[in-house]
Amino acid sequence: MSHSDPAAAPVCPRHPDRVAYVRCQRCGRPACPDCQRPAAVGIQCVDCVAQASREAPRATTRFGGTPRRTTRPLVTLVLIGLCVLTYLGQQLNDEVTVALWFGPWLAETEPWRFLTAAFVHSPSGFMHIVFNMYALYLVGGYLEPMLGRARYLALYLVSALGGSVAVLLLASVPEGWFTPTVGASGAVFGLFGAMLVLNRHLGRDTTGILVILGINMVIGFLVSGISWQAHVGGAVTGVVIAGIYALTSSRGRDRKSVTRRRLAWPGLAVLVLLLGALSVWRIHEVTGTVVWMFGS
């Protein structure tokens, strides 16, 4: 009677103490029951399944967004949460508003205010934050899955920057130069502008967006206390960003298509540099004017 040699029996590479007579259909290595995964024919080992998952083409939208199982707009909810928390802080301490608002006279010495102003709202006007956050939730829930989290966040932040830069460029001297602004309106108008361009690029109806954008633009000009400059600047910036996304969009999953979509990031960088250059030019132009007017 013959006995098989245990030392010659195949063993699982991941579990050397286990004999494994079943082999992976992909790599041919033995696989114990814990390392076996069902395949179209036979089984595959966990290592081959993981490698195939890494090598599989990643499904994306034409703008580079990654389709997700959940439709929850995570970045949008985080942005809303930050604005709400900041608003609560404003109610507890007036200095929060002063520390974060944007004013043209502060642009040169405290440039972070170009962005922080998008997270503070009128502390005495509850409806200001309510309208902005409601609009952000609606538009963000539509755009975030389409663009992907990174591109969507870039759209929001650069639109906020564009809104502040427009306030700087269009501020009258000296009254407007020393008037602070707050609110996410510039960023939200950027989202509306982007949605208009992207929907047209996709061949979708844009009538409703045009009506909403037009009505809110008119309100900004007619109602006092609203920074129409931020609305215009945010909307224009959003349109430009969406144009960059549209020009670099691609349906393919091959390397050429991926490279094409990645060109959106250099495009955004050029836009940010342009906004920065315009800001520097305006600051130095007005600084000379203010010095001349006040003789200091």
Provide the residue type at 18 as one letter.
R
Q: Which residue has the tokens 């045009």?
A: 210
**Are the CB atoms for 15 and 34 separated by under 8 Å?**
yes
Q: Is 185 a catalytic residue?
A: yes
Cα(36)–Cα(144) distance, integer angstroms: 38
- Which residue among the candidates 185, 227, 249, 279 is catalytic per the annotation? 185
Contacts of 78 (CB under 8 A, 6+ apart): none
250 close to 274: Cβ distance less than 8 angstroms: no
227: annotated active-site residue: no
Torsion of CA 180, 224, 77, 83, to 10 degrees: 30
CA–CA distances in Å: residue 3 to residues 6, 239, 242: 9, 78, 73
H-type helices in 171-227, by residue range?
185-201, 207-222
Question: How many other C-beta atoms are found inside a 10 Å radius of the C-beta of residue 100?
Answer: 21
Which long-range contacts link 40-44 to residues 24+ away (Cβ below 8 Å)?
none
Rounded CA-CA distance 37/191 in Å is 45
Q: What share of the chain is helix, strand, coil (3-state, %, to 5)?
A: 65, 5, 30
Identified catalytic residue from 128, 164, 231, 249: 231
| 143, two tokens | 């755009």
| Active centre residues (catalytic) | 185, 231
